[in-house]
């Protein structure tokens, strides 16, 4: 539970930087559903997840959402401190998807260490590259994959995250993850149901043929 | 024309690193249409553009393309050395869109400097952030913008790049830039023509009402 165990390049920091970082990192908790970072409206700091799950998403002018990536235990969230990366020109929203515990590193503290430490700058680089890769993956999905395959992949992934074949989620919420309209999700889920791959009830999607869903998502 | 003038953080390098970089950077030229980086198949090195224009694109399994971003004079291309960023998990193709002149920095030379120099690591960060922003912009376009608006924005941008109201480009090529099929481009261009916004002839799109195209692209 010590901060240093959650910061993989701890041993590459000078002892002065270690002390600064440890002093500055504050432990925080947030309830599921809390908006932790609100686009360009704030620049809270970097979040190092200790427990729980965060969701990063973008928002259209019309209020439509799409999930960009998720963060889990030991992940560090850079974009809640995107003001330190002046070339980041987009707005991301970060939400606690479950109850979460995390450390908050104030932006300016991290930035000043990053300016002088090659290790921290390269670590930041590495995180940026990972998120970039997730976004490129999503871009390819959106561009080249039909919606039935994306929905099948989403259901398989959610079922793995929940460690259950029963996903408690409204069609509205699924649409927000996938960047589409509720009606589109409902129509496709009904088709999946008619094919025996899922069973639908209020706010619940039960996966009844995971093999076929998996095959579909891998197509 | 000296390399150091094209490397904005030159003064932040140690003189040893300056010497290494200057010795290692090789001047190269390539004809328009040359593929300079071929997905994961190679890891040529970093390209610093001296003259001309590069195009970065991704490719679907079916061979469909979409332009991700462009690089111009003074831009540095990281992804032609993406093997140095182990968390980059996607394949980008880099093509000379015009005849180009550039410096090639061998991957391992840059990487070894970046590992120890906070300035170079932060500069790399900054470039990564810029490209990330361009990809996020594109993602938002693809997700939330209808194709007429995207095509209008593309034509306006191409006309600015060519400094001309006449764009010499096949419908096939436009489709490759925008990640769609040729028929979709042809259909929309014919609609634009019927509305008096463009005039079409073989391999040529002439913009006849830029104000309306601009208004459409900004909607």
Q: Which of A87, A114, A124 sits opposite B133 (nearest CB)?
A: A87
% of chain A residues with pLDDT over 90: 85
Q: What average pLDDT score do residues A119-128 get?
A: 96
Split at pLDDT 50, 70, 90, the class of B80 is very high
Does B117 sit within 8 Å of A90, measured CB to CB? no
Does residue B120 have a pLDDT over 90? Answer: yes
Answer yes or no: are the C-beta atoms of B96 and B56 closer than 8 Å: no
Answer yes or no: are the C-beta atoms of A90 and A137 closer than 8 Å: no
So what's the pLDDT on residue A74? 95
Interhelix angle B107-116/B15-24, nearest 10 degrees: 170
Answer yes or no: are the C-beta atoms of B134 and B68 closer than 8 Å: yes
Answer yes or no: are the C-beta atoms of B13 and B21 closer than 8 Å: yes
C-alpha closest to that of B69 among A91, A89, A178: A89
Eight-state DSSP code of residue A40: G
What are the φ/ψ torsions at residue A65 (nearest 5 degrees)? -110, 155
So what's the pLDDT on residue A42? 83
The mean of the pLDDT values for chain B is: 94
Does residue A103 have a pLDDT over 80? Answer: yes
- The bridge status of strand A166-168 relative to strand A54-59 is unpaired
Q: What average pLDDT score do residues B38-43 get?
A: 83
Split at pLDDT 50, 70, 90, the class of A109 is very high
So what's the pLDDT on residue B114? 97
* Residue A67 C-beta-side C-alpha neighbours within 13 Å: 19
What are the φ/ψ torsions at residue A49 (nearest 5 degrees)? -75, 130
Say what the ipTM of the complex is. Answer: 0.88
Does A131 sit within 8 Å of B122, measured CB to CB? no
Answer yes or no: are the C-beta atoms of B104 and B26 closer than 8 Å: yes
Q: How far is it, in rounded angstroms, from Cα B63 to Cα B8?
A: 37
By the CB < 8 Å criterion, does A184 face chain B? Answer: no
CA distance between the termini of chain A? 41
Does A144 sit within 8 Å of B90, measured CB to CB? no
Q: What average pLDDT score do residues A116-121 get?
A: 97
Interface probe with A: pick from B13, B17, B121, B131, most Cβ of A within 10 Å? B121
Per DSSP, the three-state class of B215 is: helix
Split at pLDDT 50, 70, 90, the class of A217 is very high
* Residue B219 C-beta-side C-alpha neighbours within 13 Å: 15
Tell me the per-residue pLDDT of B159-212, one tens digit each, with 9 for 90 and over: 999 999 999 999 999 999 999 999 999 999 999 998 999 999 999 999 999 999
Show residues of chain A in contact with B131, CB under 8 Å: 132
Q: What average pLDDT score do residues A23-48 get?
A: 93
Q: How far is it, in rounded angstroms, from Cα B67 to Cα B70?
A: 8
CATH number, domain A145-218, options 3.90.1150.10, 3.40.50.150, 1.10.10.10, 1.10.3720.10: 1.10.10.10
So what's the pLDDT on residue A214? 95
Answer yes or no: are the C-beta atoms of A95 and A33 closer than 8 Å: yes
Q: Which residues pair with A28 in a beta bridge?
A: A102
- What is the H or E stretch that residue B204 is in? strand B204-207
Answer yes or no: are the C-beta atoms of A131 and A78 closer than 8 Å: yes
What tokens were used for A102?
Answer: 């995390």
Split at pLDDT 50, 70, 90, the class of B118 is very high
Interhelix angle A118-144/B107-116, nearest 10 degrees: 130
So what's the pLDDT on residue B55? 96
**Minimum Cα–Cα distance from B86: chain A residue:** A126
Q: Which residues pair with B54 in a beta bridge?
A: B71, B96
Q: Do domains A3-142 and A145-218 have the same CATH topology?
A: no
CATH class of B3-135: mainly beta
Show residues of chain A in contact with B132, CB under 8 Å: 88, 90, 128, 131-132, 135
Cα B155-B160-B165 angle, rounded to 5 deg: 65
Q: What average pLDDT score do residues A93-105 get?
A: 96
Q: What average pLDDT score do residues B124-128 get?
A: 96
Q: Which of A117, A124, A128 sits opposite B132 (nearest CB)?
A: A128
Does residue B62 have a pLDDT over 90? Answer: no
Per DSSP, the three-state class of A180 is: coil
C-alpha closest to that of A40 among A94, A77, A105, A103: A94
The sign of the CA dihedral A57, A130, A51, A157 is positive
So what's the pLDDT on residue A202? 93
Q: In chain B, what are the domain boundaries? A: 3-135, 145-218
So what's the pLDDT on residue A18? 97
B71 contacts: CB under 8 Å, gap ≥ 6: B47, B49, B53, B54, B55, B56, B77
Tell me the per-residue pLDDT of A47-98, one tens digit each, with 9 for 90 and over: 999 999 999 999 998 888 999 999 999 999 999 998 899 898 889 999 999 9
Does B86 sit within 8 Å of A137, measured CB to CB? no
Split at pLDDT 50, 70, 90, the class of B61 is confident
Does residue B121 have a pLDDT over 90? Answer: yes
**Minimum Cα–Cα distance from A111: chain B residue:** B122
Does A133 sit within 8 Å of B89, measured CB to CB? yes
Q: What average pLDDT score do residues B9-22 get?
A: 96
Does residue B1 have a pLDDT over 80? Answer: no
Per DSSP, the three-state class of A92 is: coil
Does residue B123 have a pLDDT over 90? Answer: yes
Does residue B20 have a pLDDT over 90? Answer: yes
Answer yes or no: are the C-beta atoms of A203 and A169 closer than 8 Å: yes
Eight-state DSSP code of residue B88: -
Q: Does domain A3-142 have CATH number 3.30.1360.30?
A: no
Does residue A29 have a pLDDT over 80? Answer: yes
Q: How far is it, in rounded angstroms, from Cα B185 to Cα B195?
A: 15
Q: How far is it, in rounded angstroms, from Cα B59 to Cα B169?
A: 20
So what's the pLDDT on residue B59? 92
Cα B14-A110-B82 angle, rounded to 5 deg: 60
Answer yes or no: are the C-beta atoms of B140 and A62 closer than 8 Å: no
So what's the pLDDT on residue A121? 97
Answer yes or no: are the C-beta atoms of B197 and B209 closer than 8 Å: yes
Q: How far is it, in rounded angstroms, from Cα B171 to Cα B183?
A: 8
């Amino acid at each position: 539970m010590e901060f240093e165990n959650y910061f993989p390049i701890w041993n590459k920091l000078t002892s002065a930087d270690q002390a600064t970082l440890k002093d500055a990192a504050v432990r925080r908790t947030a309830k599921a559903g809390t908006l932790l970072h609100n686009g360009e409206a704030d620049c809270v700091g970097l979040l190092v997840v200790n427990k729980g799950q965060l969701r990063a998403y973008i928002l259209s002018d019309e209020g439509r959402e799409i999930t960009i990536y998720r963060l889990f235990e030991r992940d560090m969230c850079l974009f809640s401190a995107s003001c330190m990366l002046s070339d980041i020109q987009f707005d991301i929203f970060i939400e606690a998807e479950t109850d979460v515990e995390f450390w908050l590193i104030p932006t300016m503290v991290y930035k000043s260490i990053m300016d002088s430490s090659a290790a921290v700058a390269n670590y930041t680089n590495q995180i940026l590259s990972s998120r970039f890769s997730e976004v490129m993956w999503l871009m390819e999905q959106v561009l080249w994959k039909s919606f039935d395959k994306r929905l099948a992949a989403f259901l398989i992934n959610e079922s793995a995250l929940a460690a259950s074949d029963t996903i408690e989620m409204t069609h509205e919420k699924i649409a927000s993850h996938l960047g589409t309209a509720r009606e589109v999700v409902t129509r496709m889920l009904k088709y999946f149901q008619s094919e025996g791959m899922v069973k639908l009830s209020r706010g619940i999607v039960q996966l009844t043929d995971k093999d076929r869903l998996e095959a579909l998502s891998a197509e």
